[in-house]
Structure 1
Amino acid sequence: MGVMTRPITIFISSAGATNAVNVIDALRKTDIPFRLIGGDTDPLAAGLFMVERGYVLPRAADPQFIPKVLDICSQESVDVILPIYSAELPIFASRKHEIEARGLRICVPEEPVLKMCDDKLSVIGFFERLGIACPKTWSSEEAANERLTYPLFLKHRQGSGSKGALRVESQEDLHYHLTPDYVVQEYLDGDEYTVDIVSDLEGRMIAASPRVRNRIYGGLSTRGTTVYDEEIIQTSKRIVEALPLPGPSNLQCKRTKTGALKFFEVNPRFAAGGLPLAVAAGLNIPEILVRLLMGWELPEVQIRRGVVMNRYWSSQFLFQPEPGGRHEILD
């Protein structure tokens, strides 16, 4: 591993996303000499006003998304790109070789891995093949034609987070809510955990910090507590290294009231809700990722257990000095 020899420039995509703001805050807590450049589709995205320079981007699906990002990186002499939003990851992955050919450093899983992680039914199939305990899961078509035991849990088959997820108590409830874009899972009682993970650029796990999701709002953890659970950590290692998942990722699981541990979700990105808790507990995932990409020495990781996070709303105030002009932070 090398040592830091100069300030670097880091580009953060989707700068208005919760994940991005958390990453910016985490990087500000390090001794890495850097300047931050941000991009977002929203000209008033909060993260654009937390970086040295912000740019408005087309949407990730727009053919001009990657060319615009590359133009910005060239103009700002960017060293490292940190993709943030789930929908952007496959776009960056599909152009990774082109990006790296420009001298830029980026960490993103392979496209087939991203596709599988975005499909909850495929994730369950992967767990089963790996011998990882997981909830019984049915496609919407299977669930509509089987006799099932209630309660059950409905989730959107694709996408991250738990928005739109709901518990159903009867066959009538199931048929009322069930649409082709849902999967149906057995309902798991007990404590729910998210495991914040960072792996090296080949997908070998460096460290993992499990946390109990004490309170959830809108699919995000608003209160959590770090814990030490060797079974969760070792099972997480098996999962991320089997895929593999380089860089940041997070897994979700439940330990039922009978003590059974069951995994049910894989997110190949920075956690949206709990990253600040991992950082506060001693696992600064954005710092480790930047150091990996730059080939720098990694910090010693010592994760504290029993650290509690309470999340709350905060506000940012902007001012437009001239009509039609650029907004600025209101002092």
Structure 2
Amino acid sequence: MMRMLRENPDAAAVRIHGTNISPTAPALAACDVSEVEPYRVNNHVYAEFALDFCQRHGIDVLIPPRRLDALAGRAEDFARIGTRLMCSPPSAVDILTSKSRTYEAARAAGIPVPEWRVVRDADQLRTAVEELGREGETLCIKPAGEFSAFGFRIFDDAPLRLRDLLEAPRPLVSVTAVADALKRAADEEEKVPSFIVMPYLDGPEVSVDTLSAPGGRMVTAIPRAKDGRYRMLLDDPEPARIAGALVEHFRLSYLANVQLRRLRGRPVLLEANPRPSAGIYQTAFTGVNLPWAAVQLLLHGHPGDLPVPRLGGRIAVTETAAEVESPAAVPARH
């Protein structure tokens, strides 16, 4: 994304400031100015840090990839110091950072979602597995909050086979093991977050990167499907239609990401994020610079002249290496 901002179609000079909780975060090495941000602080403290950082550095545009709940309601505060905040409304951020509330709101809006249950203890888990597994579906479990892919497991009570040891590992777990973990946590009075139990959805996963104006008016959407190390830039209106309905319903602004998979052959919502996706750089191969268009939309009220996306292509995702400065070069924030 930083490369897309620098290699913008207007050939405008861009200076990028970045923060992270870790001084060794590789992304900081790609920034012109970097700083360590506070770790495990409440929303007010984090927002005050962000305001101070933007004021000290004269930031024009703030694009937060995390802690949206701390920043979404502070757009006017940022505006007073000359910083434009690229963020969706607080109401949308509040719902979409909870997978269970996302499914509830999306289902009410007519957006296809899978069946799901929210569980916090062993008894609720077993009930959910019994109810959702009646049609022979493979089930999975994941935290109900914003944990990315952390915590995701596929339920599998079958005994381990030799071939399982010779194949690529999968995030499998037995129902009994999860129930026992929840019970131990309760017995030890450990705080237990909510989890979602739902069918394991069929692939390929389709990720739709969207650009929308404030109020949820869709400007453009680019769907891409995963196939191992390859990504297919889909020329398919259905994922974009579902993403557009979600963007409009939640009144999402600027960059967002909607993820879909299939249940019994039909596309359903996996999750939605009111922020740019980690894979947004892949959309550059369509000829559309989404991050730069979002900046133009934020600053000037229009995204500029966008080309028609080149869809139907196939790209490979490969690794690269770059020499970076010592972590000692990144100033700490106390």
- Relative to the length of structure 2, the TM-score reads 0.79
Instruction: Name which of structure 1's ranges 230-239 and 306-315 shifts more when overlaid on structure 2.
Output: 306-315
SS in 1 for 2:202: coil
RMSD, aligned α-carbons:
2.6
- Distance verdict in 2 for CA 1:79–1:134, change over 3 Å: same
Match of 2:288 among 283, 308, 330: 283
Q: Is the 8 Å Cα contact of residues 34 and 330 (structure 2) preserved in structure 1? A: no
Match of 2:199 in 1: 186
Match of 1:84 in 2: 65
Q: Which runs of 5+ in 1 are unaligned?
A: 1-22, 216-221
Instruction: Name which of structure 1's ranges 131-140 and 291-300 shifts more when overlaid on structure 2.
Output: 291-300
Match of 1:316 in 2: 322
Match of 2:93 in 1: 114
Match of 2:167 in 1: none
Amino acid at match of 1:255: R
Q: Is the 8 Å Cα contact of residues 134 and 262 (structure 1) preserved in structure 2? A: yes
Match of 2:223 in 1: 210
Question: Does 1:169 find its partner at 2:152?
Answer: no
More helix by share: 2
Q: Please state how far the C-alpha of 1:162 moved relative to its aligned partner.
A: 2.2
SS in 2 for 1:255: strand
Match of 2:248 in 1: 241
Amino acid at match of 1:116: I
- Distance verdict in 2 for CA 1:125–1:325, change over 3 Å: closer
Match of 2:77 among 82, 98, 101: 98
Distance in 2, matches of 1:40 and 1:327, equals 10
SS in 2 for 1:25: helix
Distance in 2, matches of 1:45 and 1:27, equals 20
Distance in 2, matches of 1:68 and 1:190, equals 41
> Counterparts in 2 of 1:2-41, with a 5 A limit?
23-30=1-8, 31-41=11-21
Distance in 1, matches of 2:147 and 2:304, equals 29
Distance in 2, matches of 1:288 and 1:60, equals 33
Distance in 1, matches of 2:49 and 2:111, equals 41
Distance in 2, matches of 1:203 and 1:251, equals 14
Q: Is the 8 Å Cα contact of residues 140 and 152 (structure 2) preserved in structure 1? A: yes
Q: Please state how far the C-alpha of 1:227 moved relative to its aligned partner.
A: 0.4
How many residue pairs are counted as aligned between the two chains?
293
Q: Is the 8 Å Cα contact of residues 198 and 289 (structure 1) preserved in structure 2? A: yes
Q: Please state how far the C-alpha of 1:33 moved relative to its aligned partner.
A: 2.8
Q: Percent identity?
A: 22
Q: Is the 8 Å Cα contact of residues 46 and 316 (structure 1) preserved in structure 2? A: no
- Distance verdict in 2 for CA 1:125–1:188, change over 3 Å: same
Q: Is the 8 Å Cα contact of residues 227 and 305 (structure 1) preserved in structure 2? A: yes
- Relative to the length of structure 1, the TM-score reads 0.80
Report Cα offsets for 1:136-192 as digits up to 9, x if no partner: 101125442252324212121111422321221359922322545321112322422
Match of 2:163 in 1: none
Q: Is the 8 Å Cα contact of residues 277 and 307 (structure 1) preserved in structure 2? A: no
Q: Is the 8 Å Cα contact of residues 107 and 201 (structure 1) preserved in structure 2? A: no
Match of 1:227 in 2: 234
Q: Is the 8 Å Cα contact of residues 201 and 292 (structure 1) preserved in structure 2? A: no
Q: Please state how far the C-alpha of 1:244 moved relative to its aligned partner.
A: 1.3
Amino acid at match of 2:307: V
- Distance verdict in 2 for CA 1:231–1:164, change over 3 Å: same
Question: Does 1:144 find its partner at 2:126?
Answer: yes
Report Cα offsets for 1:18-61 as digits up to 9, x if no partner: xxxxx211112212332222222222332333222222222373
Match of 1:264 among 265, 270, 281: 270
Distance in 2, matches of 1:230 and 1:192, equals 15
- Distance verdict in 2 for CA 1:189–1:43, change over 3 Å: closer
Q: Which runs of 5+ in 2 are unaligned?
A: 159-172, 183-191
Match of 2:212 in 1: 199
Match of 2:329 in 1: 326
Amino acid at match of 1:287: W
Distance in 2, matches of 1:191 and 1:32, equals 37
Q: Relative contact order (alpha carbons < 8 A, sep ≥ 6): 1 or 2 greater?
A: 2
Match of 1:155 in 2: 142
Distance in 2, matches of 1:190 and 1:70, equals 41
- Distance verdict in 2 for CA 1:37–1:327, change over 3 Å: closer
Distance in 1, matches of 2:175 and 2:310, equals 42
Report Cα offsets for 1:296-317 as digits up to 9, x if no partner: 6513132122333333333333
Report Cα offsets for 1:73-118 as digits up to 9, x if no partner: 2333221111112xx1111113222112222111212223212112
Distance in 2, matches of 1:250 and 1:83, equals 14
